[in-house]
Amino acid sequence: MAENLVIFYSRTGTTRQAAEMLGSRLGWRVVELRDAVSRAGWWGDLRCVLDNRLGRKVGYRYDGPPLDTCGSVVVMAPVWVEHLAAPMRSFLQDQSSYKGPLAAIAVMAARGGFRAAEEVATAMGRPPHPAMVLLQQQVTTGEAKADLDEFARILQRDPRAGDAAPRSAWLSPNEA
Ligand SMILES: Cc1cc2nc3c(=O)[nH]c(=O)nc-3n(C[C@H](O)[C@H](O)[C@H](O)COP(=O)(O)O)c2cc1C
Protein backbone atom coordinates (compact mmCIF):
# COMPACT_ATOMS: atom_id res chain seq x y z
CA MET A 1 0.00 0.00 0.00
CA ALA A 2 1.24 3.50 -0.83
CA GLU A 3 2.79 5.27 2.15
CA ASN A 4 1.18 8.34 3.77
CA LEU A 5 3.62 11.09 4.72
CA VAL A 6 3.91 14.23 6.82
CA ILE A 7 6.67 16.31 5.18
CA PHE A 8 7.93 19.35 7.07
CA TYR A 9 10.52 22.06 6.81
CA SER A 10 11.56 23.77 10.03
CA ARG A 11 14.42 26.19 10.60
CA THR A 12 14.08 26.69 14.35
CA GLY A 13 12.07 23.66 15.49
CA THR A 14 8.49 24.90 15.83
CA THR A 15 7.12 23.27 12.68
CA ARG A 16 9.08 20.13 13.55
CA GLN A 17 7.29 19.98 16.91
CA ALA A 18 3.88 20.33 15.23
CA ALA A 19 4.79 17.78 12.52
CA GLU A 20 5.84 15.23 15.12
CA MET A 21 2.58 15.75 17.02
CA LEU A 22 0.54 15.27 13.84
CA GLY A 23 2.59 12.31 12.61
CA SER A 24 2.19 10.55 15.91
CA ARG A 25 -1.56 11.27 16.00
CA LEU A 26 -2.00 9.93 12.44
CA GLY A 27 0.55 7.12 12.71
CA TRP A 28 2.16 8.40 9.49
CA ARG A 29 5.85 8.61 8.65
CA VAL A 30 7.32 12.09 9.24
CA VAL A 31 10.00 13.24 6.78
CA GLU A 32 12.11 16.37 7.08
CA LEU A 33 12.93 18.65 4.19
CA ARG A 34 16.35 20.17 4.98
CA ASP A 35 18.38 23.10 3.80
CA ALA A 36 21.07 22.35 1.25
CA VAL A 37 23.10 25.15 2.89
CA SER A 38 22.66 26.03 6.58
CA ARG A 39 20.49 29.06 7.37
CA ALA A 40 22.02 29.56 10.83
CA GLY A 41 22.85 33.03 12.12
CA TRP A 42 22.24 36.53 10.77
CA TRP A 43 23.36 35.56 7.28
CA GLY A 44 20.81 32.72 7.36
CA ASP A 45 18.10 35.18 8.44
CA LEU A 46 19.01 37.48 5.59
CA ARG A 47 18.92 34.63 3.07
CA CYS A 48 15.44 33.64 4.29
CA VAL A 49 14.22 37.18 3.68
CA LEU A 50 15.90 37.54 0.28
CA ASP A 51 14.88 34.08 -0.96
CA ASN A 52 11.25 34.79 -0.11
CA ARG A 53 11.10 38.43 -1.17
CA LEU A 54 12.68 37.58 -4.53
CA GLY A 55 10.75 34.31 -4.92
CA ARG A 56 14.02 32.46 -5.51
CA LYS A 57 14.11 28.73 -6.18
CA VAL A 58 16.42 27.33 -3.50
CA GLY A 59 18.29 24.09 -2.90
CA TYR A 60 17.02 21.54 -0.37
CA ARG A 61 17.65 17.96 0.75
CA TYR A 62 14.82 15.47 0.71
CA ASP A 63 15.43 11.80 1.55
CA GLY A 64 11.80 10.63 1.39
CA PRO A 65 10.05 8.83 -1.45
CA PRO A 66 8.93 10.76 -4.55
CA LEU A 67 5.43 12.10 -3.89
CA ASP A 68 4.17 10.30 -7.00
CA THR A 69 4.62 7.02 -5.14
CA CYS A 70 2.85 8.19 -1.96
CA GLY A 71 -0.71 7.86 -0.74
CA SER A 72 -1.76 10.98 1.20
CA VAL A 73 0.65 13.81 1.96
CA VAL A 74 0.57 16.65 4.51
CA VAL A 75 3.13 19.42 3.98
CA MET A 76 4.09 21.75 6.85
CA ALA A 77 6.32 24.84 6.78
CA PRO A 78 6.84 28.20 8.47
CA VAL A 79 5.95 31.63 7.12
CA TRP A 80 8.82 33.93 6.13
CA VAL A 81 8.06 37.55 5.28
CA GLU A 82 4.41 36.65 4.77
CA HIS A 83 5.15 33.88 2.28
CA LEU A 84 5.63 30.12 2.41
CA ALA A 85 9.25 29.33 3.42
CA ALA A 86 11.33 29.08 0.23
CA PRO A 87 12.59 25.50 0.70
CA MET A 88 9.03 24.12 0.87
CA ARG A 89 7.88 26.28 -2.05
CA SER A 90 10.84 25.06 -4.11
CA PHE A 91 10.20 21.43 -3.16
CA LEU A 92 6.52 21.65 -4.12
CA GLN A 93 7.36 23.26 -7.45
CA ASP A 94 9.49 20.19 -8.19
CA GLN A 95 6.76 17.78 -7.06
CA SER A 96 3.80 19.36 -8.86
CA SER A 97 3.12 16.17 -10.82
CA TYR A 98 1.80 14.59 -7.59
CA LYS A 99 -1.97 14.29 -7.91
CA GLY A 100 -2.78 12.41 -4.71
CA PRO A 101 -4.48 13.73 -1.57
CA LEU A 102 -2.66 16.81 -0.29
CA ALA A 103 -3.17 18.81 2.92
CA ALA A 104 -1.11 21.70 4.33
CA ILE A 105 -0.24 23.50 7.56
CA ALA A 106 1.58 26.84 7.81
CA VAL A 107 3.20 27.94 11.08
CA MET A 108 3.64 31.66 11.79
CA ALA A 109 4.31 34.18 14.55
CA ALA A 110 1.43 36.48 13.60
CA ARG A 111 0.60 36.94 9.92
CA GLY A 112 1.00 35.62 6.41
CA GLY A 113 -0.14 32.05 7.02
CA PHE A 114 -3.12 32.16 4.71
CA ARG A 115 -1.03 33.48 1.86
CA ALA A 116 1.51 30.73 2.53
CA ALA A 117 -1.20 28.11 2.20
CA GLU A 118 -2.35 29.75 -1.05
CA GLU A 119 1.21 29.36 -2.27
CA VAL A 120 0.98 25.62 -1.70
CA ALA A 121 -2.05 25.73 -4.01
CA THR A 122 -0.16 27.75 -6.62
CA ALA A 123 2.83 25.40 -6.59
CA MET A 124 0.68 22.27 -6.84
CA GLY A 125 -2.02 23.61 -9.16
CA ARG A 126 -4.83 22.84 -6.69
CA PRO A 127 -5.77 23.84 -3.14
CA PRO A 128 -4.66 21.63 -0.26
CA HIS A 129 -7.52 20.23 1.77
CA PRO A 130 -7.73 20.64 4.65
CA ALA A 131 -5.39 23.60 5.16
CA MET A 132 -4.60 25.09 8.56
CA VAL A 133 -2.59 27.95 9.99
CA LEU A 134 -1.01 27.58 13.42
CA LEU A 135 0.54 30.24 15.61
CA GLN A 136 4.05 29.54 16.86
CA GLN A 137 2.85 30.23 20.38
CA GLN A 138 0.08 27.61 20.09
CA VAL A 139 2.69 25.04 19.09
CA THR A 140 5.24 25.84 21.79
CA THR A 141 2.63 25.87 24.57
CA GLY A 142 1.05 22.63 23.33
CA GLU A 143 -2.26 24.43 22.73
CA ALA A 144 -2.07 23.41 19.06
CA LYS A 145 -2.71 19.80 19.97
CA ALA A 146 -6.49 20.24 19.81
CA ASP A 147 -6.28 21.82 16.34
CA LEU A 148 -3.91 19.10 15.14
CA ASP A 149 -6.26 16.42 16.48
CA GLU A 150 -9.14 18.02 14.58
CA PHE A 151 -6.99 18.26 11.43
CA ALA A 152 -6.13 14.57 11.75
CA ARG A 153 -9.77 13.69 12.31
CA ILE A 154 -10.77 15.49 9.09
CA LEU A 155 -7.97 13.78 7.18
CA GLN A 156 -9.01 10.36 8.37
CA ARG A 157 -12.78 10.75 8.15
CA ASP A 158 -13.59 13.28 5.41
CA PRO A 159 -13.73 11.41 2.09
CA ARG A 160 -12.89 14.70 0.31
CA ALA A 161 -9.80 15.34 2.44
CA GLY A 162 -6.72 15.73 0.33
CA ASP A 163 -8.67 15.80 -2.91
CA ALA A 164 -8.85 18.87 -5.08
CA ALA A 165 -11.68 20.47 -3.14
CA PRO A 166 -13.38 23.51 -4.67
CA ARG A 167 -11.73 25.69 -2.07
CA SER A 168 -9.52 25.17 0.93
CA ALA A 169 -11.07 24.44 4.29
CA TRP A 170 -9.36 27.04 6.45
CA LEU A 171 -9.00 26.09 10.04
CA SER A 172 -7.94 28.37 12.92
CA PRO A 173 -6.62 30.87 13.83
CA ASN A 174 -8.14 34.15 12.70
CA GLU A 175 -5.26 36.02 11.18
CA ALA A 176 -4.50 39.49 12.49
C1 LIG B 1 13.20 35.43 8.07
C2 LIG B 1 11.93 35.20 8.82
C3 LIG B 1 10.77 35.85 8.44
C4 LIG B 1 9.58 35.65 9.14
N5 LIG B 1 8.45 36.28 8.72
C6 LIG B 1 7.28 36.05 9.36
C7 LIG B 1 6.08 36.65 8.90
O8 LIG B 1 6.01 37.35 7.91
N9 LIG B 1 4.95 36.41 9.61
C10 LIG B 1 4.93 35.64 10.74
O11 LIG B 1 3.88 35.49 11.33
N12 LIG B 1 6.06 35.04 11.18
C13 LIG B 1 7.22 35.23 10.51
N14 LIG B 1 8.36 34.62 10.95
C15 LIG B 1 8.30 33.79 12.14
C16 LIG B 1 8.18 32.30 11.81
O17 LIG B 1 7.14 32.03 10.90
C18 LIG B 1 7.90 31.55 13.09
O19 LIG B 1 8.90 31.84 14.02
C20 LIG B 1 7.80 30.05 12.87
O21 LIG B 1 7.27 29.47 14.03
C22 LIG B 1 9.17 29.46 12.61
O23 LIG B 1 9.01 28.08 12.38
P24 LIG B 1 10.22 27.06 12.56
O25 LIG B 1 10.64 27.13 14.00
O26 LIG B 1 9.62 25.75 12.22
O27 LIG B 1 11.31 27.46 11.64
C28 LIG B 1 9.56 34.79 10.26
C29 LIG B 1 10.74 34.14 10.65
C30 LIG B 1 11.91 34.33 9.93
C31 LIG B 1 13.15 33.61 10.35
* Backbone angles phi and psi of 64, in degrees to 5: -85, 180
pLDDT tens digit sequence for 108-132: 999 999 999 899 999 999 999 999 9
Supply the Cα-derived Rg of the chain in whole angstroms. Answer: 15
The list of the chain residues with pLDDT below 70 reads 158-176
Residue 98 alpha carbon to ligand 1 centre in Å: 27
Q: Residues with Cβ within 6 A of ligand 1?
A: 10-15, 45, 48-49, 78-82, 107-112, 136
- 144's CB contacts (< 8 A; 6+ apart) are 18, 21, 134, 135, 138
- 38's CB contacts (< 8 A; 6+ apart) are 44
Candidate of 76, 79, 83, 143 to mutate for ligand 1, largest count of ligand atoms within 8 Å of Cβ? 79
pLDDT tens digit sequence for 131-157: 999 999 999 999 999 999 999 999 988
CA distance 116 to 83: 5
Residue 32 alpha carbon to ligand 1 centre in Å: 17
pLDDT of residue 169: 45
Pick the atom of ligand 1 nearest to 113's CA: 11
Report whether 121 contacts 169 (CB < 8 A).
no
Q: Which CATH superfamily is domain 5-171 in?
A: Flavodoxin domain (3.40.50.360)
Query: Which pTM value belongs to this model?
Result: 0.93
Residue 11 alpha carbon to ligand 1 centre in Å: 9
Candidate of 80, 84, 135 to mutate for ligand 1, largest count of ligand atoms within 8 Å of Cβ? 80
